[in-house]
Amino acid sequence: MSTLLDRFAGAAPLFRKELLRFWKVAFQTVAAPVMTSLLYLLIFGHVLEDHVQVFPGVGYTSFLIPGLVMMGVLQNSFANTSSSLVQSKITGNLVFLLVTPLSHWAWFVAYVGASVVRGLVVGGGVLVATAWAVPLQLAEPGWILAFALLGAGMLAALGLIAGLWADKFDQMAAFQNFVIMPMTFLSGVFYSVHSLPAAWQAVSHLNPFFYMIDGFRRGFFGVSDVSPWISLAVVGASFAFVSGLALHLLRIGYKVRS
């Protein structure tokens, strides 16, 4: 028991420090992403509401809102860990963490935990900001919670990996622009994959972000493109793999102790 507790010793102060880091600039880290999602809703919802119906009885604006919420959760969970590590590397204050006896488990829990909080805060902000547009139902709320937590955790862990790998903001921006953004936008945020040609449907099913969005949307409407249990298995396996890799890199001190 003591060994298990030792793994997480010191995680709480680092977790608090990471929370304060993004909350002190909440206008940039929380309000700005909410505003961006609101603009997406105003533009796409206004243009396509009367022309597109993805699920029977579900208007396009209703369909779009859960996708925007989950997009905010994923992108901001990734941004929090990645930006924090890269900033610490560039400013040189990472050395103050390296001289502490914190275990790689404590680093992981603190960084990922704070990023999950930011992702959920942004997602909640998007949901509140778009609540005026259409009334949303909560058909199966358990799926909403499960996919929000798993999706935020996976992207936070992926941000940890990207932050360890990147040495400057240019590299971090490239990772976000060429990996995270395409996978997010091609995950079904703005459309159902059933509207795509067969070849692109197959490609979409290789994207784990698709299963996060689809499973999360299932919680609102009770319908989805694939079974939520399949989505849960894919997202759970992806989370386990990414988290395991992040823990391994932290344990060996990849690009932070050399």
pLDDT value, residue 76: 96
Q: Are 137 and 65 in contact (CB under 8 A)?
A: no
User: Distance between CA atoms of 219 and 237, rounded to whole angstroms?
Assistant: 20
Q: Are 74 and 212 in contact (CB under 8 A)?
A: yes
Helix pair angle (228-252, 208-221), 10° resolution: 130
CB atoms within 10 A of CB 82: 29
Reduced to 3 states (helix: H, G, I; strand: E, B; else coil), residue 151 is helix
pLDDT value, residue 3: 54
User: Distance between CA atoms of 113 and 161, rounded to whole angstroms?
Assistant: 15
pLDDT value, residue 124: 95
pLDDT value, residue 1: 47
Sorted by where each begins, the domain ranges of the chain are 2-252
Q: What DSSP assignment string belongs to 92-153?
A: STTHHHHTS---HHHHHHHHHHHHHHHHHHHHHHHHHHTTTTSPPP-S-HHHHHHHHHHHHH
User: Distance between CA atoms of 104 and 199, rounded to whole angstroms?
Assistant: 42
Interacting residues of 129 by C-beta distance below 8 A, sequence separation 6+: 34, 37, 38
pLDDT value, residue 202: 84
pLDDT value, residue 94: 85
User: Distance between CA atoms of 153 and 147, rounded to whole angstroms?
Assistant: 10
pLDDT value, residue 5: 56
pLDDT < 70: residue spans in the chain: 1-9, 47-56, 258
Q: Are 107 and 250 in contact (CB under 8 A)?
A: yes
Q: How far is CA 225 from the centre of its chain?
A: 20
User: Distance between CA atoms of 52 and 62, rounded to whole angstroms?
Assistant: 11
